């Protein structure tokens, strides 16, 4: 893997740098925002404390795929509660007929094309799966 030069965030972007990289890479893979996918999609009532989730990327094409970017600190270093929430989100999405793929921030920063293409092919390489 080679570390890629990181793009500059546009001033109107409301997410993280890894989410923006994923957004750009999805477009490079031929996906069109608003047609093939949406960014920051609230499902099943929105946030986990309301019984639902917010997906970083929910797809209409294919209709059964979602991707969440796993920030190293927030998703892996904040303890078991956040890890449990991520697993619950994956289970909730599976119950709704969707596959939720996690992409680790460090993997995405190192090789965005590879990890986005893997996610689009329903392959999850995250620590969530590797444990």
Q: Pick the residue with more confidence: 40 or 46?
A: 40
Q: What is the mean pLDDT of the chain?
A: 82
Pairwise CA distance, residues 17 & 66, whole Å:
18
**Per-residue model confidence (pLDDT) at position 79:** 61
Pairwise CA distance, residues 18 & 103, whole Å:
10
Residue 95's H or E segment, with its range, is: helix 80-95
Domain ranges of the chain: 17-130
Task: Check whether 49 has a pLDDT greater than 50.
Answer: no
Q: What is the pLDDT of residues 56-107, one digit of tens each?
A: 899 999 999 999 998 775 545 556 766 777 788 888 888 889 999 999 999 9
Task: Check whether 43 has a pLDDT greater than 60.
Answer: no
Kindly list the distances between the CA atom of residue 112 and the CA atoms of 11, 27, 93, 116, in Å, as whole numbers in the listed order. Answer: 21, 12, 24, 6
Task: Look up residue 114 and give its two tokens.
Answer: 């590879």
Q: Which of 43-47, 53-57, 79-83, 110-114 has the weakest average pLDDT?
A: 43-47
Q: 17-130 in CATH: which number?
A: 3.40.960.10
Q: Which of 2-6, 8-12, 80-84, 117-121 has the weakest average pLDDT?
A: 2-6
* Of 64, 73, 54, 62, the residue nearest 14 (C-alpha): 54
Task: Look up residue 120 and give its two tokens.
Answer: 């689009």
Residues paired with 131 in a beta bridge = none
């Amino acid at each position: 893997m080679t570390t890629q030069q990181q793009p500059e965030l546009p001033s109107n972007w409301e997410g993280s740098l890894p989410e923006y990289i994923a957004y750009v890479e999805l477009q490079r893979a031929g996906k069109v925002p608003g047609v093939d996918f949406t960014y920051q999609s609230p499902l099943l009532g929105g946030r986990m404390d309301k019984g639902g989730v917010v997906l970083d990327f929910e797809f209409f094409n294919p209709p059964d795929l979602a991707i969440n970017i796993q920030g190293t600190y927030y998703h892996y270093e904040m303890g078991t509660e956040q890890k449990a929430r991520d697993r619950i989100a994956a289970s909730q999405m599976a119950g709704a007929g969707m596959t939720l793929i996690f992409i680790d921030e460090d993997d995405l920063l190192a090789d965005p094309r590879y990890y986005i293409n893997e996610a689009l092919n329903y392959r999850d390489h995250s620590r969530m799966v590797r444990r």
